[in-house]
Chains A and B, each alone.
Chain A
Amino acid sequence: MTQSSGSSIPLRKFGHSDAQVSALGFGGHHLGEAPDEKTAVEIVHQAVDGGITFFDNCWEYRRGKTEIWMGAGLKGRRHKVFLMTKTCPHGRDADLALSMLEESLRRLQTDHLDLWQVHGMAFDNDPDLFIHPKGAAEALEKAKKDGKVRFVGFTGHHSAKVHLGMLQTGFPFDAVQMPLNAFDANFKSFECQVLPELNKRGIAALGMKPLNGHGEAIKNGVVTAAEALRYAMSLPVATTITGMDSLEVLHQNLEIAQSFKPFSEAEMQQLRDRCKQEAADGRYELYKLSLKFDNPEARLAHNFPLDNQQSEVQDMLGAQQNTGHPFPERKF
């Protein structure tokens, strides 16, 4: 793998704003899978050096670990990046969302975010709860007015209908994040239903899950990582966020992004067609059909059961045992 220092990744316009972001974004969740903080910091350093400017994170990822590690990695480099994190009220009120913002800023060692998004719009009533008096919409407005965040948006991986419901609230979002990959195109599709609407409105579209979340389709040989990433990056999006839990994965991604050439429409259609049959029942997009990717914070707020196998739940359980170390590693 090449050492990518000094190379660059194409920059793209962030919606209708003057801001620009790297076409490949650094996913925050996987940073928590790095073996230790030192490795995580090194991954962040090399990502910045490799030309990634868009950094994703979230208040509820790994109980704060990923924000703390990213904050450590961005120390002295904050000005070089476009930093996003998410708030996790999951239908609860604006005050809670704002208290999460303060925590995120502290963990990320910064006084402002470039983008602050409401995390995980999943349930049919989430748009109503968001726009309800005292709902999270008021928190986004206040944080922007107070200069703590430049742009605001929302994310979700379940339902194109819920995304459209959020847009129908009329709230002036700057960005919207959603799963975009060659499987999505033929199954309950965000690409077909949400992406054109965002482009029409000039809202920055942020793609995620280019490798279907955990790369199952790649492990099973349906697509290669390079094809999958190239497909997602060829869509009309501001950036494609993908997780990187090791230097090896980072280097692989940097290589693809630095030499990125978009697929032609014909090539994209070929890939959609190749994935179509296995996309048809959602087996590679379990985030649309199950709660697998829904964190305990979301489940608790909406009265859904927890899943003890989930990393965040394991972290919660682990946190009850005082090992004398921060972030006790999970044991199976």
Chain B
Amino acid sequence: MAENEWNRRKFIKTAAVLGTSPLVGGANVTQKQNDSTESELSGLVPRRPLGRTGVEVSGMGLGGYHLGSAETDQAATEIVAKALDHGVNFFDNAWEYHDGLSEERLGKALRGKRQQAIVMTKVCSHGRDKKIAMRMLEESLRRLQTDHLDVWQIHEVIYENDPDLIFAQNGAAEALLSAKQQGKVRFIGFTGHKDPEIHLKMLSHDFPFDTIQMPLNCCDATFRSFETQVLPEANRRGLAPLGMKSLGGSGEPVKAGAITAEQGLRYAMSLPVATTISGVDSMAVLDQNLRVAVNFQPLAASEMQSLRDHCRLFAADGHLELFKMTTKYDGKVGREQHHFPTVEQLPL
């Protein structure tokens, strides 16, 4: 994972720079690019309904993985505080991020502010039974310094047989229901970055999910698309769609010069989702995100279409969505449970 993290960090710096540089590519999207000033960030990130839950969340959410990549605990605390100040209330995490560090940092940063936040974390049983899932929940609650989660999701549903394992007797689906019954979690869902068909297989079980997380970006629209295959189905069922990987996971489309970070974020946030989760490991990146999210104005349908058209050729072979085409973004615990080689043995 070390190289992975390094790549992500390296990108964030690039993206932060590109975010304030002139637009590249031919997309018919124009947006004023300014230096970051506090006055510019006056205002809040607008709220949206979280599906049918009755809860409202900020249109941009703070990704938990990158909190573990921030330089120090203090830096993470400051990122969370500033995000809250600007109206960000949706906080993502996962039991397995940085072996628990991401959850610990979020727990610390939300001390005294827990009631302002919609806290989500994910269970990483990866096909194992309910008991292991419930044990992970207790660990997550302890690290997050809270007695309940707002959203608890099954992490990384990316292997073909995951739906079968999750819905097997005594599987993770039962853990979600138990936790909800016990009042330890308010809402439940699942996540995955691999294949729309696996998401649809999960939905076909008609399980009472509240949320569903998926990669949504302007390259996805024309390549093995969650946007066209899963998002409408999630909305039809009244689930709250949570977008992620708006910049390709590590900013691949930005580094390739296909889009700017701002275009990528704006596109993802303009989709019919409850929130777009974006990882932040520094104030520079937070400012970049807030410049888009504060007082957010969605792209017009025609602007979205021209961005999709622009990205279509880049997207055609999947090289800007490595999470769909390679094993690069597949986590350690899931690989172990599915007897896949480690990331060192199988980087891509």
Contact = CB atoms under 8 A, between A and B. Distances in A.
B319 A304 contact: yes
A267 interface: no
Interface string B322-348: 100111000000000011110001111
A124 B223 contact: yes
Interface stretch (B26-34, B84-92, B159-167, B260-268): B159-167
A187 interface: yes
A272 interface: no
A309 B346 CA distance: 9
Contacts of A188: 160
Contacts of A91: 317
B130 interface: no
Contact of B317 (A280, A283, A286, A302): A302
B347 A307 contact: yes
Contact of A303 (B319, B339, B341, B347): B319
Contact of A123 (B318, B322, B345): B318
A280 B161 contact: yes
Nearest to A280: B161
3 tightest A-B CB contacts, nearest first: A125-B316, A280-B161, A123-B317
A302 B320 CA distance: 10
A289 B327 contact: yes
Contact of B159 (A123, A124, A281, A302): A281
B340 A291 contact: no
Q: What range describes how many residues of A lie at the interface? A: 20 to 34
Interface centre among B322, B325, B327 (most CB of A within 10 A): B325
B332 to A, nearest CB: 15
Given A128-B316, A280-B160, A303-B317, 6 more contacts: A124-B224, A124-B316, A280-B161, A281-B159, A281-B339, A289-B327
A305 B326 CA distance: 10
22 contacts: A123-B316, A123-B318, A124-B223, A125-B316, A126-B317, A128-B316, A278-B339, A280-B160, A281-B340, A282-B160, A283-B340, A286-B327, A286-B341, A286-B346, A291-B326, A292-B346, A302-B319, A304-B317, A304-B326, A304-B348, A305-B348, A309-B347
Interface of B: 159-162, 164, 223-224, 256, 316-319, 322, 325-327, 338-341, 345-348
B224 A283 contact: no
Interface in A154-190: 187-188
A230 to B, nearest CB: 25
B13 to A, nearest CB: 19
Contacts, number: 63
Nearest to A125: B316
Nearest to A283: B339
Provide the main secondary structure of the chain B interface.
loop
B168 to A, nearest CB: 12
Contact of B318 (A124, A128, A278, A283): A124
Given A280-B164, A283-B340, A305-B348, A290 B327 contact: yes
B160 A187 contact: yes
A305 B320 CA distance: 10
A290 B159 contact: no
Interface string A102-128: 000000000000000000000111101
Interface in A111-157: 123-126, 128
A282 B224 contact: no
A82 B234 CA distance: 53
Contacts of A304: 317, 319, 322, 325-326, 348
B327 A125 contact: no
Contacts of A125: 316-317
Given A283-B339, A303-B256, A304-B326, A290 B346 contact: yes
A307 B223 contact: no
A157 to B, nearest CB: 14
Nearest to A291: B348
A304 B341 CA distance: 20
A281 B126 CA distance: 12
Interface in A229-281: 278, 280-281
Given A290-B346, A292-B346, A303-B256, A283 B326 contact: no
A90 to B, nearest CB: 10
A292 B347 CA distance: 8
B326 A290 contact: yes
Interface string A58-86: 00000000000000000000000000000
A125 B315 CA distance: 9
A304 B324 CA distance: 12
Contacts of B346: 286, 290, 292
A184 B318 CA distance: 23
A292 B316 CA distance: 20
Contacts of B325: 123, 291, 304
A45 to B, nearest CB: 36
Interface centre among B161, B322, B339 (most CB of A within 10 A): B161
Contacts of A283: 338-340
Nearest to B341: A286
Nearest to B348: A291
Interface centre among A128, A290, A302 (most CB of B within 10 A): A290
A281 B326 CA distance: 14
Contacts of A278: 339
Contacts of B338: 281, 283
A74 to B, nearest CB: 35
A302 B313 CA distance: 11
A281 B198 CA distance: 11
B156 to A, nearest CB: 12
B264 to A, nearest CB: 18
Contacts of A187: 160
Nearest to B334: A281
Contacts of B339: 278, 281, 283
A3 B274 CA distance: 69
